């Protein structure tokens, strides 16, 4: 059974026809091997476990349905392996993980988990941005981010039922698009409880900047930038 209603699929098909200007590749990293482990605070965690097992086929179905909405969207499905080029290049440690790439493959968008509920539009908006090769950030924000000369990271924990999560998720993703030194990951908190525990996630959205600074809630672009730059300044 299709996940997207016919009217929703048509609406997205029409949007993609108007807004997609270049090719987009969606890469799904998944696994059917229950014996593989991933890194965790305690050493090793089963890559496929009770928290994420049911979402693996759902993530693939979501992307397959989205792919059918535009000839500019390509889908690759990769089985997780530590020696796989995609897994190694993007430092993927959990499944399902989604890599969204436009023509500028050095600035991918990373989504760790299954983009359902409110987070579905995080996926859709990310596809549009990757296709167009540009963000919706202000010129001042872009100028500030382009000045960054040291690597930085943003992890944004979200859940499908959180209406405020896409704001933080999209800002983080767009920051990463502006400057390839910024690694931005959106993480579905319920699918990866070991990561939620590691970063003490009790409410969402919660952003972890440079593994140190916590930012709780969604906020305007200028305020999020201020928090990010403060964390970067502290780290340096």
Architecture of domain 14-235: 3-Layer(aba) Sandwich (3.40)
pLDDT reported for residue 227:
96
Burial call 94-103: b when 16+ CB within 10 Å, e when fewer: bbbbbbbbbe
pLDDT reported for residue 86:
85
pLDDT reported for residue 40:
57
pLDDT tens-digit map of 58-99: 999 999 999 999 999 999 999 998 778 888 889 999 999 999
pLDDT reported for residue 46:
78
Question: Is this prediction's pTM over 0.85?
Answer: yes
pLDDT reported for residue 104:
78
Residues of the chain with pLDDT under 50: none
């Amino acid at each position: 059974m299709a996940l997207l209603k016919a009217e929703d699929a048509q609406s997205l098909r029409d949007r993609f026809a108007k807004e997609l200007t270049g090719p987009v590749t969606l890469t799904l990293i998944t696994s059917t091997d229950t014996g593989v482990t991933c890194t965790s605070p305690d050493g090793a965690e089963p890559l496929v476990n009770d928290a994420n097992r049911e979402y693996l086929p759902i993530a693939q179905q979501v992307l397959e349905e989205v792919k059918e909405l535009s000839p500019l969207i390509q889908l690759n499905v990769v089985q997780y392996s530590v020696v796989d080029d995609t897994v190694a290049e993007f430092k993927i440690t959990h499944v399902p993980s989604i890599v969204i790439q436009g023509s500028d493959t050095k600035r991918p968008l990373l989504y760790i988990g299954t983009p359902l509920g409110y987070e579905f539009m995080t996926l859709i908006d990310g596809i549009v941005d990757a296709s167009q090769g540009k963000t919706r950030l202000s010129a001042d924000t872009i100028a500030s981010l382009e000045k960054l000369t040291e690597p930085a990271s943003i992890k944004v924990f979200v859940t499908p039922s959180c209406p405020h999560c896409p704001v933080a998720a999209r800002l983080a993703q767009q920051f990463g698009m502006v400057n390839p030194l910024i690694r931005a990951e959106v993480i579905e908190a319920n699918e990866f409880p070991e990561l939620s525990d590691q970063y003490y996630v009790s409410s969402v959205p919660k952003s972890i900047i440079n593994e140190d600074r916590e930012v709780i809630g969604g906020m305007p672009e200028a305020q999020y930038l201020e928090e990010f730059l403060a964390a970067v300044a502290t780290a340096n």
